[in-house]
Structure 1
Amino acid sequence: MTDSSVQDRLDDVLRTIADAARLANRKSDEVTLIAVSKTHPAEAIVPLIEAGQRAFGENRVQEAAAKWPELKARYTDVRLHLVGQLQSNKAEEAAELFDVIHSVDRSSLIQALARAAGKSGRRADCFLQVNLAEEAQKGGCSVAEIPGLLDEAREAGLPIIGLMCIPPADLEPAPWFALLAEHGRRHHLPALSMGMTADYPTAVMIGATHVRIGTALFGQRSKAA
């Protein structure tokens, strides 16, 4: 039985996406809602799956490996997205577990993921994460590095389907979303992973194809996590 509060939260987010898309003359089905389930146990995830949600995001390979293989075996049409930073030495495990990786940002990771794909035969779709504001504490490549990394990924056979960003927390996000969209157009990358609980309507209006929503779907996560 689907928890009505879970269904209500999911419906609210989907309605907000649809409203924002309509304002931008877009279709809501152009936007993939990723439910960010990091720090939440399987028993909190199942009700959302039962309510119809099929794309989920995790920040850490180790945490995802502890809970998702069983869930994916049970719900075979769920797609799992890695939305957090990825160490090159975890690339093989990530390639086996995730369907989409949003945080490709350096040459060593491109090579590690390409090797992992060759081994496993699973080739995850990837986003190039761009650190638009060049914040030292965040992952992501610089704008200047985008062309070289795209060339390298192409040569390695790693599918880069779009760009991802996390705007500075203390600034209005719209200009950063618009900047990412401009770089996407410039490099012929149609997919844009941008927008979280606090700003996803804005992201959708500016062209987001993937929004990463945690709090609005799951509530506040544990401070201990």
Structure 2
Amino acid sequence: MPDATPESPAQRLAKIEAEMAHACKLARRAPDSVTLIAVSKTRSADEIRPLLETGHRAYGENRVQEAATKWPQLRKAYPKVHLHLIGQLQSNKADEAVELFDCIHSLDRLSLLTALTKAMAKAGKRVPCFIQVNIGEEEQKGGCAIAELPELIDAAKAEGVEVIGLMCIPPAEVEPAPYFALLAELAARHGLSQLSMGMSDDFPTAIQLGATHIRVGTALFGPRPAG
């Protein structure tokens, strides 16, 4: 039996948007209350371009250097792109990150806050940030410890850095709902309205628990080439 015809980027996008709409309906939320960030890390400009052609404009990258190799050229052709940094950020890359990205999801420590404050002042540009929370208290993961969150939020306010919400990556291979619920509770406690949480396997659950930004990669771009 021949293989099924591969889905086009437009078909994959429509499928994800339908799942998002269903999750929003269950949660009694407006469909436009959730931003779909297409995770384009490790994808070439040629792989990204077909999705750009559908009109989708929110993209996420993990590494500053990788993003710098492809997005400046792509943005000349697609100027309304909104680019999100969703991976861990080294303080020495703060200048480049502020120049390149429209939103940073991985503010997680005071030293990075200091670097970003200086970079924003130097660039004359204010980049809104999510604070990444180490929601599962995993040693190998980045993110601010829950106990240190109030201090980091207060420090960001003092520096004039706009913290718009919280971000998390729950522990792998466990039910994510309790972690999403905890992040939502922490955000509400600190008066933050936006939540960056949920990926390809769990974004419907994240939406039902308040996600305003979900991060989806392979489900949008298709399987990675073998080899």
Report the TM range for the smaller structure's normalisation: over 0.9
Question: 70-79 or 176-185: which moved more?
Answer: 70-79
Q: Does 1:197 align with 2:200?
A: yes
**For residue 137 of structure 1, what is the aligned residue in structure 2?**
140
Which among 75, 78, 83 is matched to residue 75 of structure 1? 78
Aligned CA-pair RMSD? 1.3
Distance 2:127 2:105 in 1: 10
Change (3 A) 1:124 1:160: same
CA distance in structure 1 between the partners assigned to 2:210 and 2:128 by the alignment: 19
1:49 equivalenced with 2:52 (yes/no):
yes
1:152-196: CA deviations, max 9, x gaps?
111111110000000000210001000000001000100000000
What residue identity is the alignment partner of 2:135?
L
Q: Distance in 1 between matches of 2:104 and 2:226?
A: 25
Q: Distance in 2 between matches of 1:119 and 1:70?
A: 23
Amino acid at match of 1:24: A
TM-score (norm 1): 0.96
Residue equivalent to 1:114: 117
Identify the residue that residue 37 of structure 2 maps to in structure 1.
34
- SS of 1:44's partner is helix
Please give the alpha-carbon distance, in whole angstroms, between the structure 2 residues aligned to 1:130 and 1:198.
Answer: 20
Match of 1:98 in 2: 101
For 1:34 and 1:135, locate their aligned partners in 2 and report how far apart those are by CA, in whole Å. Answer: 24
Task: For residue 140 of structure 1, give the secondary structure of its aligned residue in structure 2.
Answer: coil
Q: How many residues in Structure 1 have an aligned counterpart in Structure 2?
A: 222
The answer to whether the 8 Å contact 1:39/1:221 transfers is: no
- Match of 2:8, SS state, is helix
Moved more, 214-223 or 198-207: 214-223
- In 1, Cα distance between equivalents of 2:45 and 2:193: 32
Distance in 1 (alpha carbons) for counterparts of 2:195 and 2:206: 9
In structure 2, stretches of 5+ residues that fail to align are 1-5
1:174 aligns with 2:164: no
1:4 and 1:138 map into 2 onto residues whose CA distance is 34
Question: What percentage of aligned pairs have identical amino acids?
Answer: 60
SS of the residue 1:171 aligns to:
coil
Which stretch shows the higher mean deviation, 66-75 or 17-26? 66-75
Provide the secondary structure at the position in 2 that maps to 1:40: coil
Aligned residues of 1:39 and 1:222 also touching (Cα < 8 A) = no
State the AA in 2 paired with 1:113: L
Secondary structure, counterpart of 1:188 in structure 2: coil
| Off by >4 Å, runs of 4+ in structure 1 | none
In structure 1, runs of 5+ residues without a counterpart are: none
**Cα distance in structure 2, aligned partners of 1:223 and 1:129:** 32
Amino acid at match of 1:99: D
Provide the rounded CA distance (Å) in 2 between the counterparts of 1:122 and 1:42: 26
Contact conserved, 1:59 with 1:84, CA < 8 A, in 2?
Answer: yes
Distance between the aligned counterparts of 2:223 and 2:185, measured in 1? 33
Q: Verify the 8 A CA contact 1:38 1:59 in the aligned structure 2.
A: yes
Q: Quote the Cα distance in structure 1 between the aligned partners of 2:209 and 2:69.
A: 36
